[in-house]
Chain A
């Protein structure tokens, strides 16, 4: 390009000749030159801006496009992922304390239908009704033809049923894989396990959720992926549970009871080795019984008597009043107390069983052995209502038990809101305060554990938790010794099991009427036992609902005749299974008798 000089000679000369200022020409030329430079620079800057804009646009659209693509595609498992990823068994197994399976999963299939692609809905409905007798053929056909495009037919199929459905051969019938909860032991520990059902359902999988018992209470733990499907070990011992169930069922029939419950507790760890409630059900096929309005909740087989059966537990409570009085230093086992029946308190009359009178004076040990209401009442009055409440609370008899069942928080003991003197009296022998067998077992375990409170649990514990001391070891030992005498020379004489030194207390309570008052001939019999008495290891509580023993001339409804023999048989059968060696007292008396017998013969 030709460069225009700032001061072109020709123009300058002519300007000078004309007498004008030649500098004007120079400025004019300079201005023109700057204009050209500016135009060039602008064009270049615009080009750069355009280029950068284009670059950013492409970069952002590439990133955006990739993000959109990733969001729109289905997630794919990385092929080269590390091995050991848990694909199956999304819900953890439940095992007993020795690792035997109580609940596991099984792969099965669900059946669904897509009527839009069905070839012959009429025939399909007819054949399905033939395979599944509980399906209604005509109703199914109506649902296949009313224009819907999807419907579930069955939630789970057995392999045989699946094959039969395959053989119908209609493209509108589809199978979706399902993980089903399986309880291989059937009715065993049904109330502990509860049951499971399907939650959110999809075609390819369904969520398995617990509906009751430990399945529901521990639902989060069982489904936690962080646990990697590690089985949940319960404290239940399968063998012991089966034995107790068998014995209790036989005992319930023999005693004509309508229900029964038993709890076996390890007193040092608080582990529940067995919890049986009868009648029971099969958790694989959890029933949904329609209990009529006037029926008691206890009539349903789903009712867990051991935990939810909140009844007045009768004389089994007496040992708590006596233990507290000994702890407070009010009495010793040998102290004589007033036991003159009937006792009058205001407008109330306190009687003994069948109108007996064990008085006028009875030692504290004999109050327990003979199960004297009046003697216990006098001791309770010495303790006083406030201290009595505090003690019963420390034994856990006022709160729901903390065990890992969804029903546990709902089973709260019934405690009167106003604690008058008469309540102090009646509560001391187990009336006016209602608790479940589970509460009773925990309270007895505290006595058996040397006075240190025991928290019952359904999960296996390797280390016993530190408990609070409720009473001194000496008081606990004295209480156990009194309970031992109940069996050796008191109301529970049928509870003697050779070699196991059973200690325990019977309790007979009348059932309350719905309309108020009590039934004459309906009782709840309880036997709470601790064994072996010299070194307590286990607590067994047996409860029978409305039992009656009819071998004698007149029907007998006291615990000593019904619950005690059943408990004795349970102890005899389960102790060897628990590895508890009987301690046969080798009585030198036998030799003396033998020698004297020989002497007599001579």
Chain B
């Protein structure tokens, strides 16, 4: 009985050792992956900051003003004026929808042959 127990314990030791070895390497791989991801996040964040700065730089009021002036022929942009405020009353409301026609009426002039002409 005893030798069998020894063999079983020995085999399970080897099994556990193999499992621990694999887990160790899997953890190291995961950590490397995390590190790579974090450096990727850092790079992306850096480029995001740069692109935000670039966006702000390209949209600076001086440049937009100069562009509006340069492309006046095509765009015709002018500074906003107080007179451009409208009222709700000035907005044309859509025409009411026609009701469903159930009783068609002939709107083209027709002539009855027996009628007299004025």
Contact = CB atoms under 8 A, between A and B. Distances in A.
Interface of A: 79-80, 83, 85, 87-89, 100-101, 104-107, 182, 184-186, 188, 238-239, 242-243, 246, 497-500, 572-573, 575-577, 581-582
B65 to A, nearest CB: 7
Contacts of A104: 49, 52-53, 56
A295 B34 CA distance: 61
Given A79-B31, A101-B53, A577-B80, A188 B45 contact: no
B38 interface: yes
Contacts of B59: 100
Given A576-B84, A576-B85, A582-B85, A185 B79 contact: no
B62 A242 contact: yes
B11 interface: no
12 contacts: A80-B31, A101-B52, A104-B53, A106-B49, A185-B62, A242-B62, A243-B79, A246-B65, A499-B82, A576-B80, A577-B80, A582-B83
B61 A238 contact: yes
SS class, residues of chain B in contact with chain A: helix
B73 interface: no
Interface string B85-109: 1000000000000000000000000
Contacts of B35: 79
B84 to A, nearest CB: 7
A498 B56 contact: no
B20 interface: no
A188 B61 contact: yes
B46 A497 contact: no
Interface of B: 31, 34-35, 37-38, 41-42, 45-46, 49-50, 52-57, 59-62, 65, 79-85
Nearest to B87: A581
Contacts of A581: 85
Contacts of A576: 80-82, 84-85
Given A182-B53, A576-B85, A87 B45 contact: yes
B45 A185 contact: no
A581 B34 CA distance: 55
Contact of B45 (A89, A186, A573, A582): A89
B45 A106 contact: no
Contacts of A80: 31, 34
A88 B41 CA distance: 10
B13 to A, nearest CB: 29
A184 B57 contact: yes
9 shortest interchain CB distances as A-B pairs = A242-B61, A184-B56, A184-B57, A101-B56, A576-B80, A582-B82, A79-B31, A87-B42, A185-B60
Given A79-B31, A101-B56, A242-B62, A107 B81 contact: no
